[in-house]
A and B are shown apart, each in its own frame.
Chain A
């Protein structure tokens, strides 16, 4: 999902691509053909589904601000080449949940408004009696905070083992 959002910056579109890719992957599971590197193959399916969806979106709306092709390519290559261990990915996931649970209530609510309700900065700012740019800055700091918290937990776990 992270990769899909990175190249589409559209949660609904990312989810749609994800579901489509899941269907393709599941269809393949039922076939007798052997996929030798399933992870690489599944990633490639996701990338292709994403590029197809982005192309369709470009045709549908000429006014959408899209990610530059250069950045899209670089991100796609990084995604395809990413060899991060499954264990690390799972540890990050667990750490994020802990970090979210440790967030002060106001920041947690800010995250929920943005990621769960899909509210725009303007909408959040009107609910919080603030300004869109202040909300954007606050969310940016929360993301950085969460990322730092995850990395710190991973480091501590590594040192402890």
Chain B
């Protein structure tokens, strides 16, 4: 597979070669970067990757369940694939006189065919037994920072409305703080309002929208690009840039922050002030300046829900999330119509 500069656009065949290389596990870091760029900037490349990904998954599932060996193959009544769409493929042989597949025997699968549901049910049964043991005090509770983070992630992924207060303070003046209210509904849905209420922005699960007091509602499905499109139109552009920037993982929500901790931080369980809360301290492994140097996280022992997060950056600035309320919001809360009734709608179209 040939290499090319990262900034050079690549055609469909090149992208497909990268995709195939990825699934074979033989891309180098530069090629992985090229593939990532292709998927994130081109809808066609993303679609191609996803269809290859689904095929790869099916092949592995069929193989895992033992449906690929010759004895399971149905007799082919039609044309061969090779004849339909491509020239026949020859497997290179070290001895041309000997047919490459003449002595081929299919080994038994590493894993015996089995039903996923059977495995899942038996796993659930095993979990239930384990839970019973724990509840009877016959088994030590395996609480650690990893398990607490996992529980918090599962809680954050629930489609339950939670409202957090976000407080930010600058590095040069800790007394000057800024407050925002953020509702999170799971599935990527959110609404953010600054304390002054100068504007509101949100995501209803399919469209991202933003509006200010005296203006229309801008709506787009292209979330990452809205920052650059609207940057000059709204006064609070800094926050908009933060929310839409992939380099500012702390601005959007609890889920993203937990994912960041999982990938980029070392964690330790530290003593909490109360038995109702767990506390984790996370210290960054990354040297990226926009990542907080340290994050303290408190979660509810029972539900795993994140109660508070305090993030401290190397330059002294701080950001804090505090759970204010868990209450069901109206069905339309994450839709702009709830926050900007009667306003003109401007749909923003961005291109890949």
Contacts and interface: CB of A to CB of B under 8 A. Distances in A.
Interface of A: 1-6, 9, 11, 14-15, 18-20, 22-24, 26-27, 33-37, 40-41, 44-45, 48, 51-52, 55-56, 65, 67-71, 73-75, 77-79, 82, 84, 89, 92-93, 96, 99-119, 127-131, 134-152
B84 interface: yes
B22 to A, nearest CB: 7
B124 interface: yes
Nearest to B113: A116
A93 B124 contact: no
Contacts of B24: 136, 139-140
B60 A147 contact: no
- 10 tightest Cβ-Cβ pairs between the two chains A and B: A2-B57, A115-B63, A134-B92, A1-B57, A2-B53, A116-B63, A22-B120, A112-B68, A106-B101, A71-B36
Contacts of A118: 63, 109-110
A19 B126 CA distance: 13
B177 interface: no
Contact of A5 (B32, B57, B95): B57
Interface string B129-144: 0000000000000000
**Could you tell me the dominant secondary structure of chain B's interface residues?**
helix
Given A96-B58, A116-B68, A117-B107, A144 B124 contact: no
Contacts of A1: 56-58, 60-61
A78 B68 contact: no
A19 to B, nearest CB: 6
Contacts, number: 280
B86 A74 contact: no
Given A51-B263, A96-B55, A151-B51, 20 more contacts: A2-B53, A2-B60, A3-B53, A4-B57, A5-B60, A6-B22, A6-B53, A45-B157, A52-B146, A78-B46, A78-B49, A78-B50, A108-B68, A110-B91, A113-B107, A117-B106, A130-B100, A131-B92, A147-B51, A147-B52
Interface residues on B, range: 35 or more
B81 A146 contact: yes
Contact of B60 (A11, A48, A105): A11
A111 B68 contact: yes
Contacts of B85: 145, 148-149, 152
Contact of B187 (A14, A40, A93): A40
A143 B49 CA distance: 13
25 contacts: A22-B116, A27-B124, A33-B158, A37-B187, A40-B205, A41-B159, A51-B263, A75-B49, A78-B46, A79-B50, A101-B76, A102-B76, A102-B81, A106-B101, A108-B68, A113-B107, A117-B106, A118-B109, A130-B94, A130-B100, A134-B91, A136-B26, A138-B89, A142-B89, A148-B86
B32 A109 contact: no
B29 interface: yes
B63 A41 contact: no
Contact of B70 (A68, A109, A128, A149): A109
B16 interface: yes
B70 A146 contact: no
B54 interface: yes
A55 B261 CA distance: 11
B79 interface: yes
Interface string B144-180: 0010001001100111100000000000000000000
Given A51-B263, A112-B70, A117 B89 contact: no
A106 B91 contact: yes
Contacts of B39: 74-75, 78
